[in-house]
Amino acid sequence: MSGADASETTASGTARRSRLELVSDVLLETTRFFHDERFVQLLPVMLGRSTDPLGPDPGSSILRTTELDYLGQRFYLMNSMILHKQIAVREVGPIWILSPNVRLERAERGRTGRHLFEFTQADFELPGATAADVRSLMERYYARLGTALAGHPAFGRLGVEPPSFRPPWRVVTTHDLETRFGPDWEGPASTAADQPFWAVCHRREFYDREDPADPGHFLNYDLIYPGGYGEALSGAEREWDAERIRTRIRRDGVPPQAFRAYLELAHDLVPSAGAGFGIERLVRFLTKSPHVGDVQFFRRVPGETVAL
Ligand code: ASN
């Protein structure tokens, strides 16, 4: 190895280590935040008798939900723990989970810089909360994270500025975003922004609540990072009425047998709201890394050959 190659390897090794240190500190600060806000942390499950259908959502491109049979039961690999959150929140109260998700995205998604086929989200749910409650909870989270990480030495080593989160953030409907930026608004709207913003009112999965006062409008929200980094978080007020959930599962054309186990438990859900934000996307944004896979030690980028 020539001298130049060796120093480049050392430089990229230092960058890799710096990103991993930030992942570690983000996990610590996230745990402190939810703990101080009196959420109970549940351990994740990775196999479930029902899981998030991830659609219909124009932003979703997964090839399939992985199924396996074990001792006579059919399981799905977790796309997200949303359905499990709805069941747990009515008994436990405010909950959060560091949830590993597997989403078998198409190979071309590897080039967006934002997609992984295996990642971890911080996923939380609050009984009795509104969309506005969740937005302000998350604004407190990001503000506190920014303060906690401000002096982190990894930023200097990576040559990037520490984050400057200045909530409260703009709330924009996806209808307005489509008018301004077209149907693929996420990239250009994110590039045009200088602070994160909330995109609200998508038509999405059956578990997002439709506004009873304004049918056709949905009480959900995505947080979008500025600078072209795109979606940070997605969440919603939930549909809790079992009959409306059944109707919407039929409407969406998702296979009803995949939700049988969930529906058996979903007869007395409580109103709740929550969201999930990707840990790798958050650290990619903080470190201004070219690809979200750059913050993983074991890269899981669609279309790339996996080392181990
Ligand atoms: N975690 C998201 C939510 O709470 C769901 C998802 O990841 N698709 O709404």
- Return the structure tokens found at 136: 């302000």
CB of 123 closer than 6 angstroms to any ligand 1 atom: yes
Pairwise CA distance, residues 157 & 179, whole Å: 41
CA proximity to 68, closest of 88, 49, 87, 94: 49
Ligand 1 atom closest to Cα of 80? 7
- Written as one string, the DSSP assignment of 176-212 is HHHHHH-SS-HHHHHHH-SS-EEEE-----TTBPB-T
Between 104 and 62, the higher pLDDT residue: 104
Rounded mean pLDDT of 57-86? 88
Closest CA to ligand 1's atom 9? 235
Percent of the chain with pLDDT over 90: 88
Percent of the chain with pLDDT over 70: 96
Peptide bond between residue 188 and the one before it cis (omega within 30 degrees of 0): no
Three-state secondary-structure class, residue 90 = helix
Measured torsion, CA atoms of residues 223, 25, 39, 229, in degrees rounded to the nearest 10: 10
Rounded mean pLDDT of 36-40? 98
Q: Are 52 and 205 in contact (CB under 8 A)?
A: yes
Rounded mean pLDDT of 69-87? 97
Three-state secondary-structure class, residue 295 = helix
CB of 52 closer than 6 angstroms to any ligand 1 atom: yes
Asked if pLDDT for residue 4 goes beyond 60, the answer is: no
Q: At residue 99, what are phi and psi to the nearest 5 degrees?
A: -110, 115
CATH class of the domain whose range is 9-161+238-295? alpha beta
Mean of pLDDT over the chain: 94
- Written as one string, the DSSP assignment of 2-71 is -HHHHHHHHHHHHHHHHHHHHHHHHHHHHHHHHHHTTPEEEPP-SEESS-----S-TT--BS---EEEET
Per-residue pLDDT tens digits for 266-282: 999 999 999 999 999 99
pLDDT at 57: 64
Calculate how far, in angstroms, residue 3's C-alpha sits from the geometric centre of ligand 1: 47
DSSP state of 297: S
pLDDT range class, residue 9, cuts 50, 70, 90: confident
Asked if pLDDT for residue 113 goes beyond 60, the answer is: yes
How many angstroms separate the Cα of 274 from the Cα of each of 90, 95, 219, 240, 257? 13, 9, 11, 13, 25
Residues in the chain: 308
Per-residue pLDDT tens digits for 141-174: 999 999 999 999 999 999 999 999 999 999 999 9
Ligand 1 atom closest to Cα of 54? 8
Q: In Å, how far from its chain's centre is CA 212? A: 26
The residue whose two tokens read 């693929």 is: 184
Residue 38: is it exposed, middle or buried by C-beta count within 10 angstroms (0-12/13-18/19+)?
A: exposed
What pTM, to 2 d.p., does this model score? 0.95
pLDDT at 66: 85
CB of 276 closer than 6 angstroms to any ligand 1 atom: yes
CA proximity to 251, closest of 210, 291, 220, 199: 210
Calculate how far, in angstroms, residue 126's C-alpha sits from the geometric centre of ligand 1: 13
Cα end-to-end span (Å), the chain: 24
Calculate how far, in angstroms, residue 234's C-alpha sits from the geometric centre of ligand 1: 6
